[in-house]
Amino acid sequence: MNIAITGGTGLVGRALTKLLQQNEHTVYILTRGEQKVENGIHYIHYLSEHAAPEQHLQAIDAFVNLAGVSLNSGRWTDETKDAIYSSRIDATREVIRIMKAMEQKPKVLINASAVGIYPTSKTNEYTEQETNLANDFLGTTVRHWEAEAERANELGVRVAIGRFGVILHEDADSLKLMAMPYKFGVGGRIGSGKQWLSWVHVDDVARALYFAITHNIVGPFNVVSPKPMTMHAFGATLAQVLTSPHWLPVPAFALKLALGEKSTLVVDGQFVKPTVLLEHGFTFDYPDAKRALQHIFHSAP
């Protein structure tokens, strides 16, 4: 297959590209950089005044839209929030424009999203059938993002939307932030510790996206491990893997003071189930946090 990716140089994009190449597919990465072919990857220039990426994408089987400024891009100032929002909306609108201009449409659009679309809760359990969606900044952003992607339905393109949990990888900002105190021996419970963490190993994210391309998944699918944990339990597991104590709590007010609105990413959380993936027969390589963290920190084979 020929597969086009926006956000292909990011954490998930790199993992997906590697998986696709291992399975002998041709990858086209849309980039603001120069147009070139490197290591078998076709880099296609887009999002500039004179760019016409559709001229180079006339035989694409699937489009994967991962583009968007990282949620961990500094404190959530008004300027940062605008960048987080507009980068996702603008890239998705451009993907729709490109597909409209293509004589032969791709069969499927896989669009990224986030579990932040669900309201934070210590008691609710969320599946893709949930209709009570969050209306805070993150919830509003991903709701609008998904709505833009759904416009591809009008072109006869199947749309599947991957709602990512907290992605675990050695280069993931969220995991680096959580692991840093443990590396200095001062790790502990974050906030109450009772908030849920719906996490997923980056390799399972790539595999889930590939699975959605090759299976008839339509609409949202949660990309999270089937075993979410409380932040306290996750921290204790992280401490065990890093052979560090789990003893010094970090109060929620301190994080809110330091991070502002962005603190919701660690102080609040949701219990999210990957119901659609499991119903379609997907299996996780890393369903358990301990095994996932051991793989990331190379503390086990």
> What distance in Å separates the CA atoms of residue 148 and residue 88, rounded to the nearest whole number?
9
Residue range 242-257: mean pLDDT, rounded: 93
> Which pLDDT score, from 0 to 100, does residue 170 have?
94
Sign of CA dihedral 207, 93, 167, 125: negative
pTM: 0.96
Percent residues over pLDDT 70 in the chain: 99
Helix boundaries (H) for 102-194: 137-150, 173-183
Taking only the tens place, the pLDDT of each residue in 106-143 is 999 999 999 999 999 999 999 999 999 999 999 999 99
Whether 95 is in a domain gets the answer: yes
SS3 content of the chain, % helix, strand, coil (to 5): 40, 20, 40
Whether 27 is in a domain gets the answer: yes
Taking only the tens place, the pLDDT of each residue in 56-75 is 998 999 999 999 999 988 89
Taking only the tens place, the pLDDT of each residue in 16-54 is 999 999 999 999 999 999 999 999 999 999 988 888 999
Count of the separate structural domains present in the chain:
1
> Which pLDDT score, from 0 to 100, does residue 301 have?
47
- Residues forming a β-bridge with 44: 30
CATH number of the domain where residue 254 is located: 3.40.50.720
92 CB-near residues (< 8 Å, 6+ apart): 65, 67, 111, 145, 148, 149
Whether 234 is in a domain gets the answer: yes
Residue range 206-226: mean pLDDT, rounded: 99
Whether 301 is in a domain gets the answer: no
Taking only the tens place, the pLDDT of each residue in 173-199 is 899 989 999 999 999 999 999 999 999
pLDDT at 299 over 80: no
The DSSP H or E segment spanning 80 is helix 78-101
For residue 73, the enclosing domain spans: 2-296
> Which pLDDT score, from 0 to 100, does residue 49 have?
82
> For residues 233 and 251, is the Cβ–Cβ distance under 8 A?
no
